[in-house]
């Protein structure tokens, strides 16, 4: 089977998204950069996993479009919560509309997409998307209620929140091709776990970069694992940051936090590696291929992961 290149695949996905955007109000059409910008990492992982599963790209074009739209809806909500006025160098919807209208706009965007794609996506697959969307929402709600920077939480709780908040959509990206290819539950569960793991490491890396390239004007609102480790290692500088005072974050401290982050992310990695080895001969090659794909993609984005191997 001749494989379609990702740019060609993304063209097909973007075409479906644009058809969906046509039916939206002008202010949402104007902010289509939410969809066209970025790395399209979730769609890319779905495409690569579908290739490993020998699944025709037409099978995952509509699911990839819904995944991008679902992710976009979460970004719009994030911009409200974080009071972001810019994203990817462009003004956010939140910058020129009241928060309530912005939130309803994101809801309308998502509902319109689900309505349009309901006829072309299997109902069981659509239910999986809704389930993972719920996980993201629960993660966001829990973050706002329980992970406020003024509360006491553990590093383990930070890790669990990251898994649900960010890992859920990556779990969809990797597991959907396996589900559409009618693989067994054990294999689909493994693909899903690879997605959860990738999303967790992806978010931890992003949160760590917030420390490395910290903006002194950025106010700390919610706990992340790197922030928790910063507090644990040097509460004095962390407290000064919390109070918006001048502080010094040493090179040695940044490296120490990176080493400790590795200690959190590597045990689950080795557990996944062992799970991949336990499959029977028929499924083992596919599980190994997806595991290697996940590893290669993590090495591209996470500097302290690559140092460990």
- Torsion sign, CA atoms 12, 93, 95, 107: negative
Question: In the prediction, which pLDDT does 307 show?
Answer: 61
CA 3 to chain centre: 26
pLDDT interval class at 34 (50, 70, 90):
low
Tell the burial category of 164 from Cβ atoms under 10 Å away from its Cβ (0-12, 13-18, 19+).
buried
Q: Are 47 and 5 in contact (CB under 8 A)?
A: no
Question: In the prediction, which pLDDT does 104 show?
Answer: 82
pLDDT in tens, 242-278: 887 777 788 899 999 999 999 999 999 999 999 999 9
> What is the Rg, in whole angstroms, of the alpha carbon atoms belonging to the chain?
20
Query: Where does residue 38 fall: left (phi above 0), alpha (psi -120 to 50 degrees), or beta otherwise?
Result: left
**Residue 275 burial (CB count, 10 A):** 16
pLDDT in tens, 203-222: 999 999 988 876 555 677 78
pLDDT in tens, 118-148: 877 888 888 898 899 899 888 888 887 777 7
Report percent pLDDT > 70 for the chain: 90
Q: Are 191 and 175 in contact (CB under 8 A)?
A: yes
Cα 292 from Cα 278, distance rounded (Å): 15
Cα 225 from Cα 147, distance rounded (Å): 11
Question: In the prediction, which pLDDT does 29 show?
Answer: 59
Question: In the prediction, which pLDDT does 233 show?
Answer: 94
Cα 110 from Cα 53, distance rounded (Å): 28
Question: In the prediction, which pLDDT does 27 show?
Answer: 63
Top pLDDT among 30 and 125 is at 125
pLDDT in tens, 191-204: 999 999 999 999 99
Question: In the prediction, which pLDDT does 214 show?
Answer: 67
Domain architecture of the chain: domains with CATH = 1-121 (1.10.600.10), 148-309 (1.10.600.10)
pLDDT interval class at 23 (50, 70, 90):
low
Question: In the prediction, which pLDDT does 194 show?
Answer: 98
């Amino acid at each position: 089977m001749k494989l379609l290149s990702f740019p060609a695949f993304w063209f097909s996905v973007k075409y479906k998204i644009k058809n969906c955007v046509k039916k939206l109000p002008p202010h949402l059409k104007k902010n289509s950069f939410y969809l066209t910008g970025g790395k399209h990492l979730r769609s890319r992982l779905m495409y690569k996993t579908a290739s490993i599963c020998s699944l025709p790209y037409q099978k995952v074009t509509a699911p990839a479009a819904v995944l991008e739209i679902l992710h976009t809806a979460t970004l719009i909500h994030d911009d409200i919560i974080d009071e972001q006025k810019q994203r990817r160098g462009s003004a956010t919807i939140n910058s020129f509309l009241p928060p309530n209208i912005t939130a309803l706009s994101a809801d309308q965007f998502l509902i319109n997409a689900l309505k349009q794609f309901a006829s072309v996506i299997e109902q069981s697959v659509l239910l999986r998307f809704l389930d993972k969307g719920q996980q993201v929402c629960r993660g966001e709600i829990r973050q706002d209620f329980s992970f406020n920077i003024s509360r006491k939480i553990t590093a383990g709780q930070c890790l669990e929140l990251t898994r649900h908040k960010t890992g859920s959509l990556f779990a969809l990206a990797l597991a959907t091709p396996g589900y559409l290819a009618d693989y067994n539950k054990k294999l689909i569960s493994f693909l899903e776990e690879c997605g959860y793991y990738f999303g967790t490491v992806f978010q931890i890396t992003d949160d760590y970069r917030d420390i490395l390239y910290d903006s002194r004007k950025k106010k700390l609102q919610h706990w992340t694992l790197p922030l928790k480790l910063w507090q644990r290692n040097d509460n004095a500088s962390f407290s000064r940051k919390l109070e918006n005072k001048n502080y010094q974050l040493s090179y040695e401290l940044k490296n120490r936090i990176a080493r400790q982050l590795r200690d959190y992310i590597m045990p689950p990695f080795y557990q996944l590696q062992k799970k991949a080895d336990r499959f029977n001969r028929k499924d083992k090659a596919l599980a190994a291929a997806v595991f290697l794909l996940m590893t290669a993609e993590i090495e591209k984005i996470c500097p302290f992961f690559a140092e460990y191997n």
